[in-house]
Amino acid sequence: MKKRPISVTVVSVVFILIGGGGLLRGVWSLMSGMGGGITNHGLMDIALVSISGILALLSGVFMLRGANWARWLCIIWMALHVVISIGHEMSKVVVHSVMLVVLLVVLLWPNANAYFRKDSL
Q: What pLDDT, on a 0 to 100 scale, did the predictor assign at position 33? A: 66
pLDDT (average), residues 108-112:
95
The pLDDT of residue 108 is above 90? yes
Residue 41: alpha-carbon gap to chain centroid? 23
pTM of the model: 0.85
pLDDT in tens, 38-83: 677 778 888 888 899 999 999 999 999 999 999 999 999 999 999 9
Flag whether pLDDT at 121 surpasses 60: no
Average pLDDT, the chain: 89
Dihedral, CA of residue 66, residue 115, residue 59 and residue 6, to nearest 10? 110
pLDDT tens string 83-97: 999 988 999 999 999
Which pLDDT tens digit goes with each residue over 7-43? 999 999 999 999 999 899 888 877 776 555 667 777 8
Instruction: List C-alpha distances in Å: 116 to 40, 82, 112.
Output: 41, 25, 6
Per-residue pLDDT, 29: 77
Amino acid at 30: L
Return the pLDDT at 1: 58
Question: From CA 78, how far away is CA 93, in angstroms rounded?
Answer: 11
User: Do 1 and 114 touch, CB atoms closer than 8 A?
Assistant: no
Rounded to an integer, what distance in angstroms lies between the CA atom of residue 115 and that of residue 78?
A: 21
Using CA atoms, how far residue 14 sits from 8, 19, 22, 56, 85, in Å, is 10, 8, 12, 9, 20
